[in-house]
Structure 1
């Protein structure tokens, strides 16, 4: 089995509570962590809390910014072996009538960031001998409510994108007649608060399983 030790893992949206816990868990497991966020002050706080990690300031909803980030990562011959996508947030309520376009556009940022990051580092992940991509989705995808229709719809779209990445990994391996080495996974939670450690542990543990066992799977962390 591949191990996370020695892998380079990018945490997208790393300046949240879950980003801090994930950065610490990955660093403790021997991974090289690249923590990406938009707020330089919060990135500095993250560096102080988890010494030795690399931080990068970037707006992941901006394609040019993500392309520049990829250039910086690759400048010294680096390659990404893992992505943990934590860009998110919640807005909703008020039934269908309360599902505003402003809220939709805010929530859409997470999907946009996922699209930009996975496209920018797709070649890296496919070339890695042990790549793991994971997103955090919601149990509302399976049971959407009117007051969270925007949120559930965009989480469903993010899951579809992540599963498409999984299919791309599998097809590339088949076409090359090589074993599958990369896996794309969906974690679902009802609410992430209180599950930060469980998420970090589950992500690190993906390297303890073969890619064929975890690729294109949905893991409910609230079960």
Structure 2
């Protein structure tokens, strides 16, 4: 069943969209009438998603490589003419062992999420600013507010990702002000303790980003919590 939503007809790119949260968001956005482009790097996961949703636009790309992201942008432009939204789901967890357990290898693994966010948000920045309803959203963690020694690497990368998105939000505001018009783009932070069991709640929150104007969402942190 197609639901009439503000996201109808929009092109939304899911960066790292082969996870359970990515599949839930893909289903919700597609049901709401959006055109979804799922981007991932794992061939097997992409193949399973293609088998599950044969009409879905799927792109393989290493989002930590700037040249590959630029090439991805060019392909999306050729196929869709640009994007109206990005949901950044590149992530993962490594931690434990107190502060002594915060290894450089784990930090490097976690840092890939921030690197991908930087590349994708810069490559598609002009698209989101040009759209009459551009949206950038990331999934962060409550660990930013309540960091633990055993998750110091993780919390630090999530905090840096939030800072990046807040800077993007300020850029959207400045761009609109300099152009003498109201802002149409918004950058949003979703926070969860864990995404497990909240995939559908996240998906619904993503769809809702197009139901209000940009000023309602820009530089906003939204906590997604278990029901009850």
TM-score range normalised by the length of the shorter chain: over 0.9
Question: Does 2:65 correspond to 1:62?
Answer: yes
TM-score by length of structure 2 reads 0.95
After TM superposition, give the deviation of residue 24 of structure 1 in Å: 0.7
Which of 186, 190, 193 is equivalent to 1:183?
186
After TM superposition, give the deviation of residue 77 of structure 1 in Å: 5.7
Which of 211, 215, 224 is equivalent to 1:212?
215
After TM superposition, give the deviation of residue 178 of structure 1 in Å: 0.9
- CA separation of 1:203/1:80 partners in 2, compared to 1, >3 Å: closer, same or farther? same
After TM superposition, give the deviation of residue 40 of structure 1 in Å: 2.2
Which of 112, 115, 139 is equivalent to 2:115?
112
TM-score by length of structure 1 reads 0.97
After TM superposition, give the deviation of residue 76 of structure 1 in Å: 4.0
Which of 75, 83, 86 is equivalent to 2:86?
83
Which of 22, 27, 35 is equivalent to 1:24?
27
In structure 1, C-alpha distance between the alignment counterparts of 2:55 and 2:219, rounded to whole Å: 32
In structure 2, C-alpha distance between the alignment counterparts of 1:76 and 1:188, rounded to whole Å: 32
How many pairs are equivalent?
A: 222
Aligned 8 A contact 2:94 2:110 in 1: yes
SS at match of 1:43: helix
Ranges in structure 2 where 5+ consecutive residues have no aligned partner: none
Ranges in structure 1 where 5+ consecutive residues have no aligned partner: none
CA RMSD of aligned residues (A): 1.2
SS at match of 2:62: coil
After TM superposition, give the deviation of residue 51 of structure 1 in Å: 3.6
Aligned 8 A contact 2:11 2:80 in 1: no
Question: Does 2:99 correspond to 1:96?
Answer: yes
Aligned 8 A contact 1:27 1:53 in 2: no
